[in-house]
Amino acid sequence: MTEQIDCAVIGAGVVGLAVARRLALAGRNMVVFEAEDSIGTQTSSRNSEVIHAGIYYPTETRKARLCVAGRDALYRYCRDRGVAHERLGKLIVATTADQEPALQRIAAQAHANGVTDLRRVDGSELADLEPALHASAGLLSPSTGIIDVHGLMRALRIDAEQAGTVVVVRSPVLAGSVGADGSLSLDIDGSGDVRCHAVVNCAGLRAWDVAASLTGFAQEFLPAKYLAKGNYYSLAHGSVPFSRLIYPVPVDGGLGVHLTLDLGGRARFGPDVEWVDEVDYRVDGTRVGEFESAIRRYWPGLPDGALQPDYCGIRPKVTGPGHAAGDFVFQTAADHGVPGLINLFGIESPGLTSCLAIADEVATML
């Protein structure tokens, strides 16, 4: 049996749901196909739940541009739709004097990206803000916050469905083809073909597999794929003496083992960067010593034996170890020659923060 629809979104993570909502509100007839049993079970729900300010990314990259625009849109959306969030702010800290030039570079990059509320804090002010913190200097980012990502995805799904979108779970895209008339046909779980005028591939970790399965899509247009596992640890007991998020200066592949808080005040440490070859959501408990060492650089008071493995996530990256962080990759027919197909690759952090801005850009492309 062959069904005919206007537009398919593949993947019901936070980005796929945001895209479906945006296109449905613009009048498109939408169906979202999700391979898992429920929405947002992979990258979208395995992160720090942080609303990023847009500080680190090279100017004019999609990450820089969409993070700043997405941050503002996301705060507005959360207020309008009652999605739980809090603008806690964060401190990016130099724990030694030789790290302080890195703070200057970060501040310059943030300003170039349009993040104008970042300011340096030193000495007594730093001690007043976070008495338990060990740092020689820091940057205070008042625009950084935290969010209930599951509440966000529920709100996006409700908006999309109320605008006519159908979200179908347990429906993996197994293959597809490009018709002579330019239409796209998708094999959904082997149960039949769905013909679409447009397809937006938001499959996250599976985006490469989905694109590669489409007959008529040339494999040469697949970008490189790397997987960076991020382990998180939490406190086995007690609480942390901090009211803001604490980030060290960035490291290769990520932002270092930072301290985040959830909306219940629970502390999480991570993610670290562990380059892996396959998706595996088991937390590596042997890394506890590395975590303790990294955390004690800014929180010397971390008690011995206080950390326990918590959860982990996998970042889908387009660049690997030792290389500069890659940008979001958006592919259209101008890139790969398949009309109506948009592929999103490498949607890692700040993908959550950027989701509404990503959706706007996809809508413009279509």
* Per-residue confidence band for 27, with pLDDT thresholds at 50, 70 and 90: very high
pLDDT above 70 (res 251): no
| Closest of 259, 265, 264 to residue 233, by C-alpha | 259
Cα(13)–Cα(34) distance, rounded to whole angstroms? 8
CB 110 within 8 A of CB 52: no
Question: 297-337, pLDDT tens digit by residue?
Answer: 999 999 999 999 999 999 999 999 989 889 999 999 999 99
Alpha carbon dihedral 285, 289, 293, 295, in 10-degree steps, equals 30
- The residue-averaged pLDDT of 70-99 equals 97
| Closest of 145, 147, 136, 218 to residue 178, by C-alpha | 218
SS3 144: coil
Residue 215 host element (H or E): strand 214-215
DSSP 239-287: --S-SSEEEES-BTTBS-S-EEE-TT--EEE----EEESS------GGG
* Mean pLDDT score of the chain: 95
pLDDT for 254 = 61
Question: 170-208, pLDDT tens digit by residue?
Answer: 999 999 998 777 779 999 988 778 999 999 999 999 999
Q: Are strands 226-235 and 245-248 parallel, antiparallel or unpaired?
A: unpaired
Name residues whose C-beta falls within 8 Å of residue 23's C-beta, 6 or more positions apart in sequence.
7, 9, 30, 200, 359, 362, 363, 366
H/E/C letters for each residue in 9-66?
EECCCHHHHHHHHHHHHCCCCEEEECCCCCCCCCHHHCCCCEECCCCCCCCCCHHHHH
Burial of 357 (0-12, 13-18, 19+ CB in 10 A): buried
pLDDT above 60 (res 64): yes
- The residue-averaged pLDDT of 69-74 equals 98
Taking residue 191's Cβ as centre, other Cβ atoms within 10 Å add up to 10
Cα(13)–Cα(160) distance, rounded to whole angstroms? 13
Question: 258-287, pLDDT tens digit by residue?
Answer: 999 999 999 999 999 999 999 999 998 999
pLDDT above 80 (res 252): no
Q: What spatial distance separates the first Cα and last Cα of the chain, rounded to whole Å?
A: 27
Question: 217-236, pLDDT tens digit by residue?
Answer: 999 999 999 999 999 999 99
In the chain, the percentage of residues whose pLDDT exceeds 90 is: 91
Q: Which residue has the higher pLDDT, 237 or 75?
A: 75
